[in-house]
Structure 1
């Protein structure tokens, strides 16, 4: 029913988390971003921004032609609306879940991603950049920690907001964050880690790839050397 174009990144994990939780049949197509699979013409028809994840739904609820969806947040929302799962139905609950979904898309993901880049991948270590993104990542952890002080999950019930945020916390050590400093966040993180669907999703990732996406100059150029001239 669902084709998932995927690699073993936080954004990729978001979608396997949902599909495993919802028990939706899916076919997984690995897109090795370190080898340039994301630039193949067939993939670009589905994901014009040459980024994973992307899906094709072969059984949309309107009964029409297959629907491609790119951008992880949009995919989570699409799947939640399709299945009527993992998104509160009340006006206030839905609004809260969506706010935190967009918080992750616009804040936690990009800031933690820059943290990863300057801390791990950048060949030139720039202290200002490292400090900037480590501190901002910590601030965002603090925001989520405070929010979780009076609730089990981000929107009270487990939702796409949790699925969006969790994979970006998995790399907390690489982001130079100590979860002991964020007790509510740590409790939430450990609870999600123990969910059977979470285990299945990450076990599937281990079967597909255990190597870093950036392993040599060629992969570095593919991932970090793109500009407007490469869009064809």
Structure 2
């Protein structure tokens, strides 16, 4: 039990922990820094967190379909505070990755929030968002379910289980309970259908796999055993099926700065970069 009593007025203080310096109680830039701009129509500014992986996978899936979706992916290192640079804040006032600028029209469009980016690209290229009204609605249902649920998984379970400077039993139990409930929601749905919206792979799967698929595959928080993920047999089947897609394998490498060197592509500017510019090829 804790004897902490909240004060009448909260004041910020150093909390410690791995990501303590990535958050602050005010918005806006902390320093002037322009964003780089490459030669392709789409400029992505991101990091290979689960939300960032969504966008890398989406672009690689579009490229695999032969769409004219070439893109530059620039690294935003949130540990260094890149998300608080003036250029990044201009395209995402919320200072969170991923963010993107679409230069295909007369006026560049900023697109922020991973779900908004997925919808924008799906509608622009007519891919991974079904035209059938009922299936489209079901896709949106699951996409927004993921967007609303992820804070419990990442900001809640992931934070208190893996990153908090102290272990708090109540907090871990609270968010573990919710994470397992969400996995059960997914498992029940995927017992009925191949993919979340039905028989078709959609942006709902891309978004949800980036969080829950990677979780059950043991890539988030080192928590697979703790959560008994093997018991969610339908989620495991779906996660492995999506993980086998070549575009997914490429997409999760984009803006990745951790893991084995051969899985890290800090920046992506050409399709050939996956073969020539991973960290095992260039060192560092």
| TM-score w.r.t. length of structure 2 | 0.70
Q: Name the residue aligned to 2:3.
A: none
> Which consecutive unaligned segments of at least 5 residues does structure 1 have?
212-232
> What is the Cα deviation at residue 203 of structure 1?
3.1
Q: Matches of residues 1-232 of structure 1 in structure 2 within 5 Å?
A: 1-23=41-63, 24-59=69-104, 63-107=105-149, 109-113=150-154, 114-156=156-198, 157-169=200-212, 170-172=214-216, 173=218, 174=221, 175=223, 176-205=226-255, 208-210=256-258
8 Å contact from structure 2 (residues 55, 118) kept in 1: yes
Q: Name the residue aligned to 2:19.
A: none
Quick one: distance in 2 between partners of 1:135 and 1:76? 29
Post-superposition CA distance 1:77-127 (Å, at most 9, x none): 1111111100011110110000100000001x1111111100111112110
Larger Rg: 2
| TM-score w.r.t. length of structure 1 | 0.85
Post-superposition CA distance 1:150-183 (Å, at most 9, x none): 2111112000000110111213443432332111
Quick one: distance in 1 between partners of 2:229 and 2:130? 28
Larger helix fraction of residues: 1
Quick one: distance in 1 between partners of 2:98 and 2:253? 18
> Which consecutive unaligned segments of at least 5 residues does structure 2 have?
1-40, 64-68, 260-284
Quick one: distance in 2 between partners of 1:147 and 1:2? 34
Quick one: distance in 2 between partners of 1:50 and 1:196? 30
Quick one: distance in 2 between partners of 1:45 and 1:178? 42
8 Å contact from structure 2 (residues 53, 254) kept in 1: no
> What is the Cα deviation at residue 202 of structure 1?
2.2
Runs of 4+ in 1 over 3 A off after TM superposition: none
